[in-house]
Amino acid sequence: MREHRLALCKDCYPKWFLRMTERTIKEWRMIMPDDRVLVAVSGGKDSLGLWFALSQLGYEADGLYLDLGISAGEYSLRSKQFAQQLADRIRRTLHVVSVSEEMGKPVPDLAFASNREPCSACGAVKRYLFNKFALEHGYTVIATGHNLDDEAATLMGNVMRWQVGYLARQSPVLPSRDGLLKRIKPFVRFTEKQVALFTILNRIPYIEQECPYSVGASSLFYKDLLNRIEERSPGTKWAFYSQFVEQIQPLLEEKFPEPGLRPCARCGMPTTAEICSVCRMKERANKPVLQLSDKSDSQGLTKT
Amino acid sequence: MRVEFRGKAFEFDQRMRVKDLLEKLNLSPESTIVVRGEEVLTEDDWLEEDDEVKVISAISGGALLVQFRQRFLPKRSTDKL
Ligand SMILES: [Zn+2]
Ligand SMILES: [Zn+2]
């Protein structure tokens, strides 16, 4: 990989990248012939690159864009435009679901009302809505653009705190179970830079601006640390991650089986509790009392 | 040369390799791409005095990372900006 990156040839690189993507998909049995694939499209380089790569490889994948309702810097508006541009180019359907319409409030309000970090609330809402939409529309696999840097940083964070429950479920493929669709990450063997190169060389415009709410995300810190290690000792990132998923994760999965799921009493989606966390968030965010405090808060912010 | 990075322009008046530029900007070559027009450059490519290049952070959240590095991490070797 390293030599290839140094001798970057514009014609070879995308072909090599596609071959490696196909190999990952086959090795991990990510997509079966009858599968219908839905790509979680954010408008960033990873998800757009993934959608493009899948279509180049002949997979008939559609995209789902979740409008999070983040107005700062026109983040949601611009990212949606990039997603639509690619959809037009590869002639596939881009579905758009608005979080505000589904949940009664945009992501920032949901996070605020439920006292959660925006990123954690956002992640929960995204997983929920992707799964719900895919189930309702007959898709069988949800593909996300997570790359090696994302996965290695997550792994490092989970190892540092020995989050064995999370570690047991960190895998490039999560099979479907009890109403949760199969999830795949076909880009896990590529670094962030390799994915960016693929996207740039294929002239796919993407949103470079990060989500305005991701300030201080600890995954950034781990990504940076891992890159420092990689500079000194090339190949470490991949060894760290690949050895984990091949050797350690299967052992953990056996030792720490996932808790059973049952349908949420409100929405019917799978959950470990009586009412799922997303339904709880939705209820709290839409209480009349909180609507008032929301208003005064946002006015206060614009004045100062 | 003129360097565009995160919407800002920087001027450098001597030729240097891509990796030197990244060091000056305190960026990791592992997470940065430098392009000159349509051309993607490698770490060892030379940048000439009249070049115009764009530095792209491959890391989602890259701007935050730069602020973070500048605040918390020691700069590398001969780093002057
Ligand atoms: Zn080549
Ligand atoms: Zn529910």
Cβ atoms of residues A261 and A180 within 8 Å: yes
Tell whether A154 is covered by a domain: yes
Distance CA A251, CA A249 (A): 5
Count of C-beta atoms within a 10 Å radius of residue A1: 14
Domain assignment present for A39:
yes
**A29: in domain:** yes
Neighbours of ion ligand 1 (CB under 5 A): A 9, 12
Contacts of A191 in chain B (CB under 8 A): 30, 58
Q: Taking 60 as the threshold, does the pLDDT of residue A302 lie above it?
A: no
The boundaries of the domain holding residue A79 are 2-259
Q: Which CATH number fits the domain that encloses residue A247?
A: 3.40.50.620
- Report the pLDDT value the prediction gives residue A141, as an integer from 0 to 100: 98
> Which residues pair with residue A65 across a beta bridge?
A41, A96
For residue B66, the model assigns a pLDDT of 45
C-alpha distance from B66 to closest chain A C-alpha (Å): 10
Instruction: Say which residue, A217 or B58, is predicted with more confidence.
Output: B58
Instruction: Measure the CA–CA gap between A212 and B79, rounded to whole angstroms.
Output: 29
Bridge partner residues of A304 (DSSP) = none
Q: Which CATH class is domain B2-72?
A: alpha beta
Query: Given A8, A228, A231, which is nearest B42 (Cβ)?
Result: A8
Q: Report the sign of the C-alpha dihedral through residues A116, A284, A72, A142, in that order.
A: positive
Q: Tell me what the mean pLDDT of segment A218-245 comes to.
A: 91
The reported pTM is 0.85
Tell me whether residues A220 and B68 touch, CB distance under 8 A.
yes
From CA A35, how far away is CA A91, in angstroms rounded?
19
Q: What is the pLDDT of residue A209?
A: 65
pLDDT tens digit sequence for A84-110? 999 999 999 999 999 889 988 888 788
- Indicate whether A226 belongs to any domain: yes
Q: How far is the CA of A89 from the centre of ligand 1 (A)?
A: 25
Least confident span in A62-76, A140-154, A166-180, A209-223: A209-223
For residue A193, the chain B residues in CB contact (below 8 A) are: 30-33, 58
Two structure tokens written together for A117: 């970090």
DSSP string, B17-28: EHHHHHHHTT--
Q: How far is CA A101 from the centre of its chain?
A: 21
Contact A25, A60 (CB under 8 A): no
Kindly state whether residue A20 falls inside one of the protein's structural domains: yes
> Considering the domain boundaries, does residue A51 fall inside one?
yes
Share of chain B above pLDDT 90, in %: 32
Rounded CA gap, A205 and A52, in Å? Answer: 12
Mean pLDDT over the full length of chain A: 87
Residue among A96, A136, A104 at smallest CA distance from A284: A104
Contact A37, A51 (CB under 8 A): no
- Chain B residue nearest residue A223, CA to CA: B59
User: Which has more pLDDT, A21 or A210?
Assistant: A21
In the predicted structure, residue A288 carries a pLDDT above the cut 50: yes
A146 touches chain B (CB under 8 A): no
Cross-chain CB nearest to A200 (options B40, B43, B44): B40
The structural domain count of chain A equals: 1
DSSP state of A187: T
Which ligand neighbours the alpha carbon of A131 most closely?
2
Contact B62 A224 (CB under 8 A): no
Tell me whether A228 touches chain B (CB under 8 Å).
Answer: yes
Give the whole-number percent of chain A exceeding pLDDT 90. Answer: 62
A178 pLDDT above the threshold of 90 = no
Would you state the pLDDT for residue A20?
96
Average predicted confidence (pLDDT) for chain B: 76
Q: Is the pLDDT of residue A299 over 50?
A: no
Residues in chain A within 8 Å Cβ distance of B67: none
A174–B contact, CB cutoff 8 A = no
**Residue A300 scores a pLDDT above 50:** no
pLDDT of residue B70: 44
Tell me if chain A has a CB within 8 Å of the CB of B59: yes
A6-54 tens-digit pLDDT = 456 777 899 999 999 999 999 999 999 999 999 999 899 999 999 999 9
Interface of A with B in 175-194 (CB under 8 A): 191-193
Q: Phi/psi of residue A41, each to 5°?
A: -105, 125
Using alpha carbons only, give the angle A134, A138, A140 rounded to the nearest 5 degrees.
70
Task: Tell me whether B11 touches chain A (CB under 8 Å).
Answer: no
Residue B67: predicted pLDDT? 42
For residue A149, give the chain B residue with the closest CA. B59
Residues of A in contact with B58 (CB under 8 A): 45, 191-193, 195-197
Average pLDDT on A245-263 reads 93
Tokens of B56: 């792209």
Domain annotation covers residue A290 = no
| Cα gap A177→A43, rounded to integer Å | 28
Confidence bin at A152 (pLDDT 50/70/90): very high
SS3 A73: helix
Q: Quick check: A10 contacting B, CB < 8 Å?
A: yes
| CB-proximal residues (5 Å) to ion ligand 2 | A 264, 266-267, 276, 279
* Confidence bin at A218 (pLDDT 50/70/90): low
Distance from Cα A280 to the centre of ligand 2, integer Å = 7
**In angstroms, rounded to a whole number, what is the distance separating the alpha carbons of residues A62 and A111?**
28
pLDDT above 70 coverage of chain A, percent: 87
- Using the predicted structure, report yes or no on whether residue A146 has a pLDDT greater than 90: yes
Q: Between A166 and A209, whose confidence is greater? A: A166
